[in-house]
Amino acid sequence: MKKEILIVVSFVALFLSSCDKKSGNKGVINGDSSENVILADNGKIDSTVGYNVDINGKKSIKTDYVYKATDGALVKVVYNYDPEASNVTITSNKKTFILDKVKSTGTETIYEKGEMKATAKGDSLILHQGENIIELLKTKI
């Protein structure tokens, strides 16, 4: 009987000592989700950036979208979030425009090159080319 009690007490002591919250399990690698988060120029999380999440919960940055213009035309838009060369590539009717990021507030991002300007805000992308204003909305394609 004393042997059984000694075994149970040893097991409980071993269990309690292995549950130290401070040291944690050294074999587990903590995933840093902040490495995939894009920050706006003001240092806050940029809400205009989209993310893909796989079935394991791993987050990756979504860079390409299909937008639909008010006239029904489809436009391919690819965002480059590289801090050194942040830009957007807009392709429609076999023409491609590459605009450089000028400013980001966290809720909207502005891209410009020459007389062309694009403002990304939520699910919309508004293009200004001279006097023309073209409104685009993200599609579910």
Domain with residue 103: its CATH number is: 2.40.128
Any domain includes 11: no
For residue 75, the Cα-to-chain-centroid distance in whole angstroms is 21
Any domain includes 17: no
Any domain includes 68: yes
Any domain includes 103: yes
Encode 96-110: b = buried (16+ Cβ within 10 Å), e = exposed: ebebebeebebebbb
Q: Which residues of the chain have pLDDT under 50?
A: 28-29, 31-34
pLDDT of res. 49: 82
Any domain includes 33: no
Any domain includes 24: no
What range defines the domain where residue 86 resides?
A: 39-138
For 92, other C-beta atoms within 10 Å of its C-beta total: 17
Q: Could you give the CA distance from residue 108 to residue 33 in angstroms, rounded to a whole number?
A: 22
Whether the CB-CB separation of 104 and 48 falls below 8 Å is answered with: yes
Q: Helix (H, G, I), strand (E, B), or coil: what is residue 55?
A: coil
pLDDT of res. 103: 92
Q: Could you give the CA distance from residue 68 to residue 135 in angstroms, rounded to a whole number?
A: 8
pLDDT of res. 110: 96
